[in-house]
């Protein structure tokens, strides 16, 4: 009787443990890489965050932040701002925002573009892992997702 109670209890614990583990959402490779970066397990040279709303006809802005803190700006048909590089603490602040927003996860559904409509993109690279998401440029303020990353980069690099 004791053996069967022990076996039933052990089996129950295993089932509960497996259920709890299975209910946890799987971590994406990019999320895992961002979290490893924050704990110092990924080299800053293996991290790149890029926002781009460049449009072939209308121009736009592309901001790239490297894990080292270097900031690169590319503009078309606009005046080029002079960015300031980020400190390690500021890079960590930006990565923390990416994790909060789950910035590797595409949320805007695909559809046909309207005339003169363009996309803003956010690309994250951690080592060999990469994600790219997008939103319609005209919906950035409403969605409050990719625009928060763009605005944080602009604020941290003093190019507001």
The answer to whether residue 56 sits within a structural domain is: yes
Element holding 6 (H helix, E strand): helix 2-23
The answer to whether residue 14 sits within a structural domain is: no
The answer to whether residue 134 sits within a structural domain is: yes
Residue-number span of the structural domain to which 67 is assigned = 27-156
At residue 26, the pLDDT reads 77
Please state the domain count of the chain: 1
The answer to whether residue 114 sits within a structural domain is: yes
CATH code for the domain of 67: 3.30.1560
CA 108 vs CA 9, 76, 91, 114, 155: distances in Å: 46, 25, 26, 15, 25
Is residue 101 over pLDDT 70?
yes
Q: What is the pLDDT of residues 9-43, one digit of tens each?
A: 444 444 444 444 445 567 899 999 999 999 999 99
Placement of tokens 């295993």 in the chain: 14
At residue 3, the pLDDT reads 53
| CA separation for the pair 33, 126 (Å, rounded) | 6
At residue 92, the pLDDT reads 98
The answer to whether residue 12 sits within a structural domain is: no
The pTM score is 0.81
């Amino acid at each position: 009787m004791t053996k069967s109670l022990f076996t039933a209890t052990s089996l129950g614990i295993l089932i509960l443990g497996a259920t709890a583990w299975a209910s946890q959402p799987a971590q994406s490779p990019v999320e895992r890489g961002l979290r490893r970066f924050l704990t110092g397990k990924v080299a800053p040279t293996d991290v790149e965050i890029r926002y781009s709303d460049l449009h072939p006809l209308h121009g736009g802005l592309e901001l790239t932040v490297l894990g080292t803190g270097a900031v690169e700006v590319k503009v078309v048909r606009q005046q080029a701002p002079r960015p300031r590089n980020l400190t390690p603490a500021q890079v960590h602040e930006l990565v923390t925002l990416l994790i909060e927003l789950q910035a590797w996860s595409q949320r805007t559904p695909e559809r046909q573009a309207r005339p003169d409509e363009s996309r803003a993109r956010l690309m994250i690279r951690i080592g060999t892992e990469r994600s790219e998401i997008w939103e319609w440029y005209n919906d950035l303020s409403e969605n409050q997702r990719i625009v928060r990353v763009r605005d944080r980069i602009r604020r941290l690099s003093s190019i507001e």
